[in-house]
């Protein structure tokens, strides 16, 4: 009988963005791949897709119906492995799979950044910590994507049968790579940027956590010292227009470009000079890893995900939260030194190639998956 794996997450674009190489790997092993998520995206490497209307909020009653449907799907399909992602996908899938686990199904959960963390709000610890620790009892393997979350799960004695750490979701280092100066110049000309413009890039949803206002304020502080510095902000979200208004009020509307939702980040990053990031909380940010893969130095706010990737004076700098003046000073330092941009940027590229490429992460996940790929048959034999 063909073995089956179910991938579960709140939204299907999560899989399109991050997990197709791992689904492809399962297909190469002869497995049947199923997906349960909200959305209508057609995914490659998938044999069956269940459109389930997950709600992101744990307080939405609709999730009770989602739980019942997910439980029916799991019980009907006799999965060998269930790998769940995202907070609500992880909660509901693990609860729905309790009966299946007794029959040998192995349940894996990747925490893409715990909502509780060192220095995090007390309310997050009161709400999310007990839930995650309780659910660890129903988890065969808890996978973390940064060292801080791994240490937290181990030190707080989460009850998952295994706790592992992998280096994120992996970066395609062939798609995201440095460009030559001629390639940069050509791309800039096509988009209306001058050769001497210093382009800073940040791709993120416009929400409170991502805090783009911080970057706009830092740019305003250096507009006279660095007249050629420009900030490119890709993404949509509820705070976008507020950020646009802020740039206008600070007199730098012509220096901040709002690019909207983009699917061509790999064509934008390599023509830029500096990657910046301002979020309050990150697990292990893909936007920073992609920028590093393209050879950009990084100036980022202080959080666990940024600390995992950015080493001061090696590939960029970490700046304390809301230290706008320090952020501005770091930007000025890089704006004035092309050699430093190249030095820090190439160090970041080397870090990605060594530890965070798709090849590297696929190898890490392959080892984890292989531990569980034969276990269901052993459990069923023991029961019989």
State both tokens at 207. 């929400």
pTM for this model (two decimals): 0.91
What does pLDDT average to over the chain?
Answer: 93
Structure tokens at 320: 């304390």
CA distances from 53 to 38, 48, 57, 60, 86 (A): 5, 16, 12, 11, 14
pLDDT recorded at residue 56:
76
pLDDT of residue 363: 96
Given a contact cutoff of 8 angstroms between Cβ atoms, the answer to whether 300 and 277 are in contact is yes
List the structure tokens of 262: 């983009």
Predicted confidence (pLDDT) at residue 269 exceeds the cutoff of 70: yes
Dist CA 328 CA 369 (whole Å):
45
Q: CA 234 from chain center: how many Å?
A: 16
Cα separation, 336 vs 285, in Å, equals: 27
Report the half-sphere exposure of 259 (CA within 13 A, side-chain side): 21
What are the tens digits of pLDDT across the range 105-144? Answer: 999 999 998 877 676 677 777 888 898 999 999 999 999 9
pLDDT of residue 59: 67
Asked if the model's pLDDT at residue 284 lies above 90, the reply is yes
Give the span between the Cα atoms of 336 and 354, in whole angstroms: 29
367 class by beta-carbon count within 10 Å (0-12 exposed, 13-18 middle, 19+ buried): exposed
**Distance of CA 279 to CAs 137, 168, 208, 285, 379, Å?**
31, 18, 8, 10, 44
In the 8-state DSSP scheme, what is residue 43? Answer: P
Give me the mean pLDDT over the 3-17 stretch.
94
Average pLDDT over residues 230-248: 98
Residue range 320-346: mean pLDDT, rounded: 96
User: pLDDT tens-digit profile of 41-64?
Assistant: 999 999 999 999 998 776 677 889
Helices (H), 275-374: 286-293, 304-309, 324-335, 338-351, 358-372
Q: What is the pLDDT of residues 202-227, one digit of tens each?
A: 999 999 999 999 999 999 999 999 99
Alpha-carbon distance values, 46 to 10, 24, 79, 215 (Å): 17, 9, 14, 40
Res 80 pLDDT > 60: yes
């Amino acid at each position: 009988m063909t073995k089956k794996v179910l991938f579960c997450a709140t939204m299907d674009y999560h899989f399109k963005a991050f997990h197709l190489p791992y689904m492809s790997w399962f297909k190469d092993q002869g497995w049947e791949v199923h997906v349960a998520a909200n959305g209508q995206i057609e995914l490659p490497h998938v044999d069956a897709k269940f459109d389930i209307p997950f709600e992101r909020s744990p307080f939405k009653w609709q999730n009770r119906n989602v739980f019942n449907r997910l439980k029916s799907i799991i019980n009907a399909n006799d999965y060998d492995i269930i790998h769940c992602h995202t907070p609500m996908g992880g909660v509901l899938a693990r609860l729905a799979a309790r009966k299946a686990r007794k029959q040998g199904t192995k349940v894996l959960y990747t925490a893409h950044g715990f909502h509780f963390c060192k220095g995090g709000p007390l309310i997050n610890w009161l709400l999310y910590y007990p839930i995650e620790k309780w659910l660890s009892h129903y988890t065969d393997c808890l996978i973390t994507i940064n060292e801080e979350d791994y240490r937290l799960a181990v030190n707080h004695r989460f009850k998952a049968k295994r706790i592992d750490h992998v280096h994120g979701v992996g970066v395609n280092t062939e798609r995201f790579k440095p460009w030559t100066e001629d390639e940069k110049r050509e791309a800039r000309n096509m988009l209306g940027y001058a050769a001497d413009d210093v382009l800073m890039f940040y791709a993120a949803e416009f929400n409170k956590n991502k805090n783009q206002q911080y970057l706009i304020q830092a740019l305003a502080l250096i507009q006279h010292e660095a007249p050629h510095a420009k900030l490119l902000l890709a993404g949509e979200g509820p705070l976008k227009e507020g950020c646009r208004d802020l740039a206008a009020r600070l007199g730098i509307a012509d220096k901040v470009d709002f690019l909207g939702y983009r699917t061509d980040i790999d064509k934008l990053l390599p023509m830029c000079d500096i990657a910046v990031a301002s979020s309050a909380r990150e697990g292990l940010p893909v936007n920073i890893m992609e920028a590093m893969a393209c050879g950009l130095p990084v100036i980022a706010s202080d959080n666990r995900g940024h600390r995992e990737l950015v080493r001061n004076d090696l590939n960029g700098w970490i700046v304390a939260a809301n230290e706008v003046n320090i952020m501005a000073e770091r930007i000025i330092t890089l704006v004035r030194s092309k050699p430093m941009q190249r030095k820090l940027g190439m160090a970041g590229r080397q870090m990605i190639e060594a530890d965070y490429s798709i090849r590297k992460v696929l190898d890490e996940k392959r080892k984890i998956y292989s531990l569980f790929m034969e276990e269901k048959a052993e459990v069923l034999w023991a029961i019989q």
